[in-house]
């Protein structure tokens, strides 16, 4: 499959998304469903980030509040307490790394950008705190726009669609128009696997992922170790690495430009095999 050449401008660092890229998840929330780190433990955090970069991560995505289904919202100050020190340490140690922050709060986005973060990954599409859009527009950094209908504590109550794919497509068209009106140029779309979707709806989405190529925006996919895998298999997140790779390969076939993952090395290997597969 031939990919549309596209780049995003991360504060002057141009990232070519014509080549599939790896976004490594750095969880600094103890409530996360898989693999949490303590942002106050610099050595452990920096070792993890260094290994992710060595293993092929192109973007480091740091988050301090779990957004898994059913998780409870924490305060702004607690979220910042978890990530602020860690972000500063990561930026100081890895000057050239592309850093992302996973937040839906304008205040957290603003403080993170002040520390040298390069892009904002927002699960809410600006719905939970509209100020985040103003912050991103003011700093002119890339913005990851996810499909999601409600906060994590109740989002699985919002899974009734007449036509999920059509409604998602309309959601993205409307949101992209709003972001462009605000002057945001680099918009990455994320279909939001696991967010306001049942397990079967997640598989329907994956099967039809290529529909969103019509939006002509880079596509980020986050399938890593999610409940659509371990609940369907009756297992745990720890036992889903091989199935994560299988679904990531399918996502790449359907046009994914960025794989958001817990395991950078295996995602990079998946991309390498996909690239060989695509060339023949």
Segment 252-278 shows an average pLDDT of 97
Find the catalytic residue in 68, 260, 265, 279.
260
**Is this prediction's pTM over 0.85?**
yes
pLDDT 10s digits, 29-46: 877 777 778 776 789 999
Q: What is the per-residue pLDDT for 214? A: 95
Three-state secondary structure string covering 65-98: CCCCCCCCCCCHHHHHHHHHHHHHHHHHHCCCCE
pLDDT 10s digits, 197-250: 999 999 999 999 999 999 999 999 999 999 999 999 999 999 999 999 999 999
Is 226 catalytic? The answer is: yes
DSSP the chain: -PPPP-EEEETTEEEETTS-EEEEEEE--TT-SS----TT-HHHHHHHHHHHHHTT-SEEEEESS--STTPPP--HHHHHHHHHHHHHHHHHH-TT-EEEEE-S-HHHHHHHHHTT--EEEETTTTSS-THHHHHHHHHT--EEEE---S-TTTGGG----SSHHHHHHHHHHHHHHHHHHTT---EEEE--TTSS--HHHHHHHHHTGGGGGGG-S-BEE--TT-HHHHHHHTS-GGG-HHHHHHHHHHHHHTT-SEEEES-HHHHHHHHHHHHHHHH-
Mean pLDDT of the chain: 94
- Rounded distance between C-alpha atoms, residue 36 and residue 72, angstroms: 16
Find the catalytic residue in 226, 231, 268, 279.
226
- Which residues are 144's β-sheet partners? 121, 188
What is the CA angle 59-15-272, rounded to 5? 70
pLDDT 10s digits, 138-180: 999 999 999 999 887 888 889 999 999 999 999 999 999 999 9
Domain boundary assignment for the chain? 13-279
CATH architecture designation of domain 13-279 = Alpha-Beta Barrel (3.20)
Specify whether the CB–CB gap between 101 and 108 falls below 8 A.
Answer: yes
Confidence of residue 74 (pLDDT cuts 50, 70, 90): very high
Percent of the chain with pLDDT over 70: 98
Q: What is the per-residue pLDDT for 112? A: 98
Is 105 catalytic? The answer is: no
């Amino acid at each position: 499959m031939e990919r549309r050449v596209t780049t995003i401008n991360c504060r002057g660092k141009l990232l070519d998304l014509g080549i599939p890229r790896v976004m490594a998840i750095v969880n600094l929330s103890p409530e996360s469903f898989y693999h949490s780190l303590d942002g106050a433990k610099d050595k452990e955090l920096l070792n993890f980030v260094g290994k992710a970069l060595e293993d092929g991560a192109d973007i480091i995505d740091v988050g301090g509040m779990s957004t898994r289904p059913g998780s409870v919202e924490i305060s702004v100050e607690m979220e910042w307490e978890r990530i602020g020190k860690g972000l500063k340490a990561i930026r100081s140690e890895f000057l050239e790394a592309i850093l992302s922050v996973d937040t839906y709060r304008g205040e957290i986005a603003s403080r993170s950008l002040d520390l040298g973060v390069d892009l904002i990954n927002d699960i809410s599409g600006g719905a939970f705190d509209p100020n985040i859009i103003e912050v991103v527009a003011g700093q002119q950094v890339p913005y990851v726009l996810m499909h999601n209908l409600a906060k994590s504590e109740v989002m699985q109550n919002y899974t009734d669609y007449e036509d999920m794919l059509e409604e998602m497509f309309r959601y993205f068209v409307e949101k992209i128009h709003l972001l462009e009106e605000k002057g945001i140029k680099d918009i990455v779309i994320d279909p939001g696997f696991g967010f306001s979707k049942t397990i079967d709806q997640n598989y329907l989405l994956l099967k039809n992922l290529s529909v969103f190529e019509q939006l002509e925006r880079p596509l980020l996919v986050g399938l890593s170790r999610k409940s659509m895998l371990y609940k369907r298999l009756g297992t745990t997140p720890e036992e889903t690495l091989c199935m994560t790779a299988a679904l990531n390969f399918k996502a790449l076939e359907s046009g994914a430009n960025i794989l958001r993952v817990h395991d950078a090395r295996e995602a990079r290997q998946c991309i390498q095999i996909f690239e060989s597969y695509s060339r023949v």
